[in-house]
């Protein structure tokens, strides 16, 4: 009973912190609309010291004509994964980070990365987290690992390495109708990374090439797997769970 009370109190405290960080009128700041932490289930066989952070980036609009699923559907799907991983003994954190409302030509990823880092620091964890994302949210999580530590990275159906909408602006830069330049990531893929894409589809070419080097001790390196039942299906979640086990988390 006391454990449940402490768990609910912990969630409440984190929720208050999330609101305090995101309540700002500055349109150049990113915001966090969801910060939900789940402690490991007391029924779990073991507790992992490495938490999982499930990230959803909103408002990037990275490619014209691309429409995300409704917020209700996405929230339900991540909630299912978060709940199941908590049952397996992981501390999980769901985060929704929204791009700045400002129409500045600067990439929104910088402000969003700062917001993501602030909320991860609130966890006060002994080990860097494993970060999980899908679709356009993979841009944010890869921007995060450029400058911040992570124990592992899971990218589900990530966007391509090259700009999918390369229309130039009047200055000849690759902003197009999106309003910001497509990012180029330079982080070294020498820590555990799982890339999951549809069968026969290769968009993350840099990481796919890195996977040719194989996976070392502790899961270090890039693993490639084909999605079994979509980016948020239970079979796909089980694939991630098995990869976590193989990587020693």
Q: In this structure, what CATH number is given to the domain that contains residue 75?
A: 3.40.50.1820
Angle of helix 109-121 versus helix 2-22 axis, rounded to 10: 150
pLDDT of residue 121: 95
Residue 85 has pLDDT above 80, yes or no: yes
Q: What is the CB neighbour count within 10 angstroms for residue 205? A: 11
Report H helices in the chain.
Answer: 2-22, 71-87, 109-121, 137-147, 205-210, 234-246
**93 secondary structure, DSSP code:** E
pTM of the model: 0.83
Residue 201 has pLDDT above 70, yes or no: yes
State the average pLDDT over residues 208-236. Answer: 91
Q: What is the domain range of residue 29?
A: 2-246
pLDDT of residue 69: 41
The closest alpha carbon to 112, from 74, 78, 138, belongs to 138
Q: How far is CA 183 from CA 102, 151, 222, 232, in A?
A: 19, 22, 20, 25
Quote the CA–CA distance of 240 and 246 in Å, as a whole number. Answer: 10
pLDDT band for position 171 (cuts 50, 70, 90): low
DSSP reduced 3-state for 10: helix
Token couple for 17 = 């912190």
Sheet holding 130-134, edge to edge: 31-38, 92-98, 52-58, 130-134, 152-156, 192-197, 221-226
> Tokens 């959803």 sit at which residue?
56
Q: In total, how many domains does the chain have?
A: 1
Give the pLDDT confidence of 132-152 residue by residue, as tens digits.
Answer: 999 999 999 999 999 999 999
pLDDT of residue 103: 58
Give the pLDDT confidence of 59-83 residue by residue, as tens digits.
Answer: 887 654 444 443 443 444 689 999 9
The closest alpha carbon to 198, from 162, 236, 165, belongs to 236
Please report the beta strands in 150-204, taking only residues with DSSP state E, as ranges in sequence order.
152-156, 192-197
Residue 90 has pLDDT above 60, yes or no: yes
Those residues whose C-beta lies under 8 Å from the C-beta of residue 92, and which sit 6 or more positions away, are 37, 38, 51, 52, 53, 54, 81, 82, 83, 85, 86
pLDDT of residue 106: 78
Percent with pLDDT over 90 in the chain: 58
Q: Which residue has the higher pLDDT, 78 or 94?
A: 94
């Amino acid at each position: 009973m006391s454990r449940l009370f402490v768990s609910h109190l912990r969630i409440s405290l984190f929720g208050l912190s999330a609101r305090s960080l995101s309540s700002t009128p500055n349109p150049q700041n990113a915001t966090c609309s969801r910060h939900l932490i789940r402690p490991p289930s007391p029924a779990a066989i073991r507790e992992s010291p490495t938490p999982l952070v499930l990230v959803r980036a909103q408002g990037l609009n990275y490619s014209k004509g691309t429409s995300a699923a409704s917020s209700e559907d996405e929230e339900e799907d991540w909630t299912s994964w978060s709940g199941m991983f908590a049952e397996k003994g992981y501390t999980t954190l769901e985060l929704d980070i929204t791009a700045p409302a400002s129409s500045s030509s600067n990439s929104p990823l910088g402000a969003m990365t700062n917001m993501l880092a602030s909320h991860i620091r609130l966890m006060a964890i002994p080990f860097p987290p494993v970060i999980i994302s899908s679709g356009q949210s993979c841009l944010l999580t890869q921007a995060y690992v450029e400058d911040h530590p992570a124990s592992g990275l899971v990218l589900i159906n990530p966007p391509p390495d090259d700009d999918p909408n390369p229309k130039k602006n009047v200055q000849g830069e690759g902003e197009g109708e999106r309003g910001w330049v497509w990012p180029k990531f330079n982080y070294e893929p020498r820590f555990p990374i799982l890339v999951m894409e549809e069968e026969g589809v290769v968009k993350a070419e840099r990481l796919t090439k890195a996977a040719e080097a194989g996976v070392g001790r502790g899961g270090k390196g890039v693993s490639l797997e084909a999605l079994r039942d979509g980016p948020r299906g239970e079979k796909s979640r089980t694939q991630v769970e098995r990869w976590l086990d193989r990587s020693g988390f």
